[in-house]
Amino acid sequence: MAKPHDCSIKYTLSVMSGKWKWIILWLLHRDNVKRYGEIKKDLDDITHKMLSQQLKELESSLLINRKEYNQIPPKVEYSLTEKGKTLIPILELMAFWGDEHHPENS
């Protein structure tokens, strides 16, 4: 029989699956608001298709806001929602762990 926390962890992993979502949230936490091109520039290894997909999934999970400005050229900004901000302590722990255990820091 599955323990209640097992289901909670599975749910969290289903929402935050993939390597890019955590990094996107960290960038938005660090800079508050970012445009699509700025995120893409920070994640030079990500494809346009993957970034678009990850942003849409984060938005549909209510973790980020997408603000579209009615202008030419089009302008879209992304920021964390209050729900998204609740993941920041986890990201900070991940960053701390990485700093402590990264092979380059040994």
Q: What's the CATH code of the domain at 54?
A: 1.10.10.10
Q: Is residue 31 part of a domain?
A: yes
Residue range(s) defining the domain that contains residue 81: 19-105
Across 5-20, average pLDDT: 86
Q: Is residue 47 part of a domain?
A: yes
Query: Whole-prediction pTM value?
Result: 0.87
Look at residue 45 and give its three-state secondary structure.
Answer: coil
DSSP-assigned beta bridge partners for residue 75:
69
Core vs surface per residue 53-73: b (16+ CB within 10 A) or e: ebbebbeeeebbbeeeeeeee
By percentage, how much of the chain surpasses pLDDT 70? 94
Return mean pLDDT, the chain: 92
Cα torsion 23, 25, 30, 35: sign: positive
Q: Is residue 10 part of a domain?
A: no
Task: Please give the pLDDT value at position 106.
Answer: 66
pLDDT in tens, 51-100: 999 999 999 999 999 999 999 988 999 999 999 999 999 999 999 999 99
